[in-house]
Structure 1
Amino acid sequence: MTAFEEFGVLPEIAKAVEELGWILPTDIQAEGIPLVLGGGDVLMAAETGSGKTAAFCLPIIQIVWETLKDIESGKANRISKSTSPPWTMSIMDRGNAFAVDPTGLRVQSRELREWHGGRCTCGVQGSGKWGFEATVTDEGLCRVGWSTLEASLDLGTDRFGFGFGGTGKKSNNKQFDNYGEAFGKNDVITCLLDLDKGEIAFLKNGIDLGSAFTVDKQLRNSAFFPAVVLKNAEIALNFGSTKFKYTLPTGFCPICSTPRDLTVINTNGYSSLDTNKSTKNAKNAPFAVIIEPSRELAEQTCSQVKNFKKYLENPKIKELLVIGGINIKDQIYALQNEGVDIIVGTPGRLEDLIQGYLSLANCRFFVLDEADGLLKQGYTELIERLYRQMPKLTTDGRRLQMIVCSATLHAFEVKKMAEKLMHFPTWIDLKGEDAVPETVHHVIVKVDPQKDRSWCSLRKHIQTDGVHSQDNIRPGMNSPEVLSEAVKLLKGEYVVKAIDEHNMDRAIIFCRTKLDCDNLERYFKLIDAKKYSCVCLHGDRKPHERKANLEAFKKEQVKFLICTDVAARGIDITELPFMINVTLPDEKSNYVHRIGRVGRAERMGLAISLVSTVPEKVWYHGEWCKTRGRNCWNTRLTDDGGCCMWYNEMQYLADIEEHLNITIQQIQPDMKVPCDEFDGKVVYGQKRKLTGSTYQTHTVQMAPIVKELAKLESEAQIIFLKRHYLKICRRV
């Protein structure tokens, strides 16, 4: 049995994983795989290159295959009315944002602006005195009480619902009247129903608040169900399966002890389900939807899915890559004719396909990879719209699972989305705040045009971005504009110098803008196209070119990949030894994402960042720029209605160091890295060799410590003997 099989992974999947060279699961895989297989919502945070893609792909592939197998054998049918256990909160009769935990006894809604409610799976009809307890477990607004099946889930807003709210008001038929007193977190509300008298009352922390409602005679023969409505709140319920915190008044019994002849099953939400239909009856209805922020990441994840499902046969899993740059007609044809079980795509193309071509009726897994990136790109509304279209209880009676992965779960946007959409998620945070992996040796080189005047006499130099085309730039001057232009020239030289000094034959080079990438690519081809063979990866390159360029770099057909931050997140290139930052990123977390391209899978990596000591004038095309940078040459500053700004790298460096709570090692412009724990002991791009010594040198290393221990032991024995003989002498 392989290590992956011990986590519950099928042997066929484990075999495919082993062929990829993965012998042991990473930490995120060891934590994540069992949780996803177990059926819960999961939030994953780990270092870049930690293997979190496999942490969600492996269990999803397995469950999808098992579901297809059950459908093939006729075992998988739609949910029956007996799915929900008695006397829990119904997972069918509830609002969209009303979450019910796996026990059915704790409910939650994180919607800030709307009320969302739910009802119990069972109710009581006829006679008797019944009660249940509701404990407020978090801050927020709530109402608890009783309702019939005809009532709105917004308890107390029609004549069929009777509620008591945390503001100290009772409500029925939109009539809100003062009653009892306000309640909040940690308070226990006992809800009482006297069917014999037709009365509803409440207790707060065991104190009787008196009669709240007299039920209309026309409703007394109806079945009444425990009901709750919440606004950004959480409540724990006890229907009597465990001892109540406060004793019920004389004559009242726990609602769960209702005799069978008085018990009524909640049928709301089941009428639309056909119990005779097969679970999978539409080719365009996948079981899993995985969203990635970029085409490259989507292609990479889809490729992983293909690798992992390699040995799964009868039935075969069908995956579909849904991204721009591929003819949408081919994707529509696959959806309508070939069928699909797992979709991996980008938000834009998914949005196109849900307009009638893609059904989410059978979706069981909703995965957001690099979630912070998706939210920063403005896809929050689309994510929520997709979520609303997915059934919260899938057609085979299982709960929709939402999995959110990111290198930074601590972002406010991610936390807010998780609270709103996810169902009591389990957090796997193996990363904490941003940190640089131990396998990455990262250094900075300061680019100081006032000290290094070589830029004045360059015969061949990199083409700059043109921001100073309207400025009076002449060698010998020391104006900010001249020094800024000098920085651009020197950075081109420093990149080449770093490559030559470390004999780099494979590296990823990050530039700030697409224009900078193109200029560096041209410069490499100008000075030596073979020695500095390279390709570009950025948004202005056509999709097929981006794909071809990335493949060429992965297959080592070219030495250098020059890119913008489009490749900073998630692109997995194994054994990458070197990374160069031509310009520091303006977002602190992006520094970690960038240098995380090296040092993966225990391979050692060197990251060099070029940092200008003087402000550099750069392009900054915001929403005010009509062309968003295309053929724009407005070199005025943004304050003056232009598209340029002054970029202060020294400030960004200080921010990064403060964020990481470290001082990044500085090297000289000659690019020589001083001897330290990395130098001489590793080869960048390879695993660090064991530095343990032989037995002989080990003895030499330990000899002084052993000698010290022997000395201490001797002193301790002498002290003991002195005290022992002193006692004997005193007795004599």
Structure 2
Amino acid sequence: MKFEQYNISPDIKESLAELGFKRPTDIQFKAIPSILKGEDVLAIAQTGTGKTAAFAIPILHVLQQQQERRHKPKHLLQCLVMVPTRELAIQIAGVFSEIGKYTDLSILGLYGGVEQDDQVKQLRKGVDILIATPGRMFDLIHQQHLDLSFVRVLVLDEADHMLDLGFNKDIVDVKKKLPRKHQTLFFSATIDKKIKDLAYAMVYNPIRIQISPQDPVSKNISHAVAFVEMDDKRFFLERLVKEFPDTRILVFVRTKVRAERVQAAMKRVGIDSLCMHGGKEQQDRLDVMDQFRSGQVKMLITTDVNARGIDIPDVDYVVNYDLPDVAENYVHRVGRTGRGVKKGQAVSFCSQEEKPLLEAIQKYIGKEIREMAIDKQSYRETLALSEETPNDNWRLLLEQEMKKQEKPKGKKKK
């Protein structure tokens, strides 16, 4: 079924066509009809499945219909989307704005790290859909700039991450401020007892949708691990960048101090890179994301602040410079590549002391990550690498790993 066949607003269909949305993804196909009916939804879907549009499309349609039934257009806050991070608030507000650009609905991303004056001015003018982080939202509620008493749709996105960040009480408190009768849409990448307990406390007789294949990682991603000593990782990252100069690379490190140090190491060898972590001012973070998305700079070094839910188009490689302390974060990190129908590569540098983390990751994803074997000669060459002595061994190794992991076509021989 194509979007043009859906019983949704022609204005929304027009914007979907311009965005290249022809057919719904699995989560969109299963969620949109229930949301249009006003049913509560509990959806479990891995990153990159199109879940933002799964709730944005029907919400925009329903609110536009409500607006058109009124004699005079009046912006009244009727939809609240709660998200765990500023970057997600900005991204999701952008999705709503793109899909709803031919409607008269007013959309606002509300988050901290920036002055509140412009946000307050827009709230006074009137907002139909608010995408908010808990901190700034409660600040403005307490200052009496924000009224949730007319909200008819509550969306909790990346609910598992909100729990990880300690927003459980905030979610419960928001629920108390809404009208007794409202629709709740609960979206999470993972499901466990904590998530279930929260979900069933929030939703009423929900439609449960689960898009979670046995392999939690997209089949479009090829994985490889290289055993590299901690102090040598910067040389291997340098080599990777120089051998793949036109690729977009997202590098994950464990701490913000580490991110700054890796960026400095790349600068010393003439490689431009961007750095992003929670210690950066919000405007700096926005500028960094704009530069990386536009392709002005091909490499972004970041902490796990960018591992959840952020849609960065056309990332060719995810490099786990440091393995994550939490195995689940491996899935979120590598999910930044191989999105939609595109192929992606995930390369992890594993030092001797990180081997227990690698074992935990392999247990979590249910399979071994193929080792990209580096012989002693190639290892020594990498440490001595310079622009005057190019070597294609690493390029060949990476290309071989991709070919090995591609499924053979045709029927298997009996």
Given the two structures, how large is their TM-score scaled by the length of structure 1? 0.52
Q: Amino acid of the residue matched to residue 363 of structure 2?
A: E
Which of 268, 271, 276 aligns to 1:537? It is 276
CA distance in 1, matches of 2:189, 2:202: 19
Q: Amino acid of the residue matched to residue 342 of structure 1?
A: I
CA distance in 1, matches of 2:219, 2:290: 28
CA distance in 1, matches of 2:253, 2:106: 38
1:643 maps to none
Which of 269, 281, 284 aligns to 1:527? It is 269
What SS does the corresponding residue of 1:28 show, helix, strand or coil? helix
Deviation at 1:668, TM superposition (A): 2.5
What SS does the corresponding residue of 1:343 show, helix, strand or coil? strand
What SS does the corresponding residue of 2:154 show, helix, strand or coil? strand
1:353 maps to 140
More helix by share: 2
Gaps of 5+ in 2: 379-393
Larger radius of gyration: 1
Q: Does 1:59 align with 2:58?
A: yes
Q: Deviations over 1:54-107 (max 9, x none)?
A: 000111111111111112379xxxxxxxxxxxxxxxxxxxxxxxxxxxxxxxxx
Deviation at 1:586, TM superposition (A): 1.3
What SS does the corresponding residue of 1:679 show, helix, strand or coil? helix
What SS does the corresponding residue of 2:187 show, helix, strand or coil? strand
CA gap of 1:367–1:434, structure 2 versus 1, over 3 A, is farther
Deviation at 1:680, TM superposition (A): 9.5
1:301 maps to 92
CA contact (8 A) 1:12 1:311 kept: yes
Q: Does 1:331 align with 2:119?
A: yes
Q: Which has the higher contact order (CA 8 A, sep 6+)?
A: 2
2:202 maps to 421
More strand by share: 1
Deviation at 1:372, TM superposition (A): 0.7
What does 1:444-459 align with in structure 2 at a 5 Å threshold?
444-448=225-229
1:431 maps to 212
Deviation at 1:650, TM superposition (A): 0.9
Which of 327, 341, 357 aligns to 1:652? It is 357
Q: Amino acid of the residue matched to residue 318 of structure 1?
A: S
Q: Does 1:384 align with 2:172?
A: yes
CA gap of 1:308–1:674, structure 2 versus 1, over 3 A, is closer
CA distance in 1, matches of 2:94, 2:121: 20
2:315 maps to 576
What SS does the corresponding residue of 1:403 show, helix, strand or coil? strand
Deviation at 1:658, TM superposition (A): 1.3
Q: Does 1:596 align with 2:378?
A: no
Deviation at 1:413, TM superposition (A): 2.0
What does 1:180-259 align with in structure 2 at a 5 Å threshold?
none
What SS does the corresponding residue of 1:72 show, helix, strand or coil? coil
Q: Does 1:514 align with 2:256?
A: yes
Gaps of 5+ in 1: 75-279, 394-399, 449-486, 616-648, 683-687, 693-700, 709-732
What does 1:23-62 align with in structure 2 at a 5 Å threshold?
23-62=22-61
CA gap of 1:576–1:36, structure 2 versus 1, over 3 A, is same
CA distance in 2, matches of 1:680, 1:554: 30
CA contact (8 A) 1:504 1:578 kept: no
Deviation at 1:432, TM superposition (A): 5.1
Given the two structures, how large is their TM-score scaled by the length of structure 2? 0.90
Q: Deviations over 1:534-590 (max 9, x none)?
A: 111111111000000000000001011111111000110122111100111111111
CA distance in 2, matches of 1:8, 1:407: 28
1:440 maps to 221
1:679 maps to 403
CA distance in 1, matches of 2:258, 2:405: 35
Deviation at 1:7, TM superposition (A): 3.5
Deviation at 1:503, TM superposition (A): 4.1
CA distance in 1, matches of 2:15, 2:300: 29
What SS does the corresponding residue of 2:222 show, helix, strand or coil? strand
CA distance in 1, matches of 2:6, 2:196: 28
Q: CA RMSD in A?
A: 2.4
CA distance in 2, matches of 1:23, 1:384: 37
CA distance in 1, matches of 2:117, 2:221: 44
1:286 maps to 77
